[in-house]
């Protein structure tokens, strides 16, 4: 049996990420994910997609950010693919000083999910986030 997959192409701006978050929530709810897992995956997915869209190079042909959500072997996997220049995933994810207004997105992703891997390639970057689903 094929694992359930939700695939979304985000072609537009940041506001589309919130719409996608609603679809991800529904998908996870249909597959009986707990409220906590849904909330954690939603925030991690939003942070990952916001990053990918914000760092899209200006004026380049609009390539969609692709979000795939898979449920398999008791895990949720979020896979976010973009075609921007990418960034170097920090070796150590630390919180900025409390008064700093930015720089918490990757830290949150890492804390909310069980694993996070980022592969920066010549024509695409892929962020893969996984979270174990607690047995109901």
Partner 1 sequence: MKMEINGEALRVSSITQLGEANAKAFRDWVRGALKKGHRNIEVDLSQTTFVDSSGLGALIALQKTAVSRKGKLLLLNPQPAVRQIIQLTRLDNFFEIVNSE
Binding site for partner 1 (CB under 8 A): 14-15, 17-18, 21, 39, 42-43, 46-47, 50, 54, 95, 98-105, 107-108, 111-112
CB of 14 to partner 1, least distance (A): 5
The rounded distance, in Å, linking the Cα atoms of 24 and 77 is: 12
Nearest CB to partner 1, comparing residues 4 and 103:
103
Nearest CB to partner 1, comparing residues 73 and 100:
100
DSSP state of 114: S
Nearest CB to partner 1, comparing residues 99 and 123:
99
Tell me the C-alpha to C-alpha distance, in Å, between residue 6 and each of 57, 58, 68, 110: 26, 28, 6, 22
* 34 within 8 A of 13, measured Cβ to Cβ: no
CB of 46 to partner 1, least distance (A): 5
- With residue 112 as reference, give the H or E element that holds it: helix 105-112
Nearest CB to partner 1, comparing residues 1 and 97:
97
Tokens standing for residue 32 = 């009986």
């Amino acid at each position: 049996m094929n694992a359930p997959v939700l695939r979304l192409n985000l072609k537009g701006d940041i506001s589309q990420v919130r719409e996608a978050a609603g679809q991800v929530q529904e998908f996870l709810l249909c597959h009986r994910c707990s409220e906590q897992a849904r909330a954690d995956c939603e925030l991690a997915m939003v942070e990952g997609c916001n990053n990918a869209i914000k760092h899209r190079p200006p004026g380049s042909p609009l390539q969609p950010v692709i979000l795939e959500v898979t449920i398999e072997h008791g895990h949720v996997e979020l896979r976010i693919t973009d075609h921007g220049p990418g960034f170097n995933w920090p070796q150590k994810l630390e919180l900025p000083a409390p008064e700093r207004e930015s720089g918490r997105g990757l830290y949150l992703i890492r804390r909310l999910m069980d694993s996070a891997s980022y592969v920066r390639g010549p024509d695409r970057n892929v962020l893969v986030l996984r979270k174990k689903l607690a047995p109901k």
